[in-house]
Structure 1
Amino acid sequence: IEVLEVCVTARVRFSAVPFGESEKGPRLFAELCDDVRGLAAEMGCRVTGPFFDVENRGPHEKHVIGEAVRNAFSAGEAAASVMDAELIGVDSVDVLDVDWRGNNDPERREPDFRSVECEARVKVTYAFEAL
């Protein structure tokens, strides 16, 4: 009889909100990680992570895209000033990139789930009118 080694992957997902609401949060999160590692060791398993993400990326991405468009407005106004023109509207907005960054290095000694960030790059084309 040939014995095959079978690998099983399990993912534990939970909200990190309780760990961010108090000063004891980071310590409680560390204790949870220690408990998971202890359970894995008892079962002869390997643990990777933690890996941080948000539950629903859509609303966060929408918000940062809006912020990127708002931040581009001052550059449009500056261009209008240089061209001796008036910025009269937005012609188009192209989303160039939406990037999620976080503290997902599994070797990090003190992971911080509050470090998950979303950044957007946009190209805004404005309509100008000569003064």
Structure 2
Amino acid sequence: MEINPETLQRVVAIGDKAVIQDKMWSAAIQCSVEIYKANYDYMALDSFGGHNSNAVLSTLAACMQLEPFKFDGFSPGLNDVILYWETIKVIQAQNGFGQASGGGGDSTGGSGAGRMVAAISSCPMFP
């Protein structure tokens, strides 16, 4: 995957493969299935009953137990979680997350050998 250096990016987690790929990524995939099944309408400004890609990003982050995102600029839908929290808690539990919320950074554990980095990108409408 080629990453555009102009795109805003944040490292959201660093950890062993078991944490990043097997736990967090599995939760994200399960979360995306639930979002798809909800059949939401797309609305660029995340209003009028629809949601946008930033709302999906925020919901995926919640399922992966990551801290809410913060980007500079106008980013409608950012931190709009579009699944019920009960659904998110089930996804987290099925993927081995504990009760603590948040995560990311070096707090994901591991010794450094075989470590992986998870990064996200967002495109605000007006930087």
TM-score range, shorter chain: under 0.3
- The two structures have a TM-score, normalised by structure 1, of 0.23
The normalised TM-score by structure 2 is: 0.24
Look at both structures and tell me which one has the larger radius of gyration over its CA atoms. Answer: 1
